[in-house]
Structure 1
Amino acid sequence: MTLLREAIGDSLRRARLAQHRTLREVSTSARVSLGYLSEVERGRKEASSELLAAICAALDVPLSRVLWDVSTLMAGADAPPVSEQVDVPERETVPAESAAGPAAEPAAEPPAEPDPAHASASMTRIVIPAPKSDMLVLVKSN
């Protein structure tokens, strides 16, 4: 099992090395001690959100990109090997009328398939239709 702090450290280190920058350069730019940045990159220290934001700014990498990279890494690490994956039978679809009543409109076209390079073989997608305006309840605050 991969720890979150290790995955974050790996992602930050890969970003730094891809830019051919040293720990000293990034630590100076992020205003973080060199030793602490090293500990974060090695997964020995938990980085606060403020510290992550400072390191990402120093690397000129959006924090969302680092978190996406980490989630992809962790999803791959936690997925069972192909030999252990279990075949899941297809679910039976329920007609729109019986699921949401006779006034339901036909379902919209499903979104495009995810990038196969990042998709997991055991991924399940659930599509929830957006609510209709007549179904919304507005609450007035004082």
Structure 2
Amino acid sequence: MIVLRRELGDVLRRLRQSQGRTLRDVSAAASVSLGYLSEIERGEKEASSEVLAMICDALDVPMSEALLLVSDRVASLESLVRLPVPAAAPVVSAA
């Protein structure tokens, strides 16, 4: 099952790490507690749109870009997940 908060957390972590920044640095810049940011990155907590905006601002990444990265990840995962297709109902003709 695809869990959106995990995908978002992974994207935020990768963005932070690609900038060579620490959790402490980003949490201070975003005015989000270190523990809460860590939980968001691990996919344990859902970030509100306001908190997500603060984190993206701290990372100097437009929220739309972060969400596009999440969308790409979800689309990729969906292509790997095979959803069960319901069997077609038998056709009954009227006599």
Answer yes or no: same fold by TM over 0.5: yes
Aligned to 1:39: 39
- The amino acid across from 2:63 in the alignment is L
Equivalent-residue separation in structure 1 for 2:60 and 2:36 (angstroms): 19
**1:41-120 paired onto structure 2 within 5 Å:** 41-80=41-80
Q: TM-score, normalised by structure 1?
A: 0.56
Identity %: 59
Unaligned runs of 5+ residues in structure 2 are 83-95
Q: Which has the higher helix share?
A: 2
Give 5+ residue unaligned stretches, structure 1.
85-142
| SS of equivalent residue, structure 1 residue 79 | helix
> 1:95-129: CA deviations, max 9, x gaps?
xxxxxxxxxxxxxxxxxxxxxxxxxxxxxxxxxxx
**Stretches (4+) displaced over 6 A:** none
Residue in 1 that maps onto 2:14: 14
Provide the TM-score with structure 2 as the length reference.
0.83
Bigger relative contact order, structure 1 or 2 (CA pairs below 8 A, ≥6 apart): 2
Structure 1 residues 83-106: Cα deviation after superposition (integer angstroms, max 9, x where no partner): x7xxxxxxxxxxxxxxxxxxxxxx
Q: Which has the larger radius of gyration?
A: 1
CA RMSD between the two structures = 1.2
Which amino acid letter does the alignment assign opposite residue 68 of structure 2? W
Aligned residue for 2:38, secondary structure, equals helix
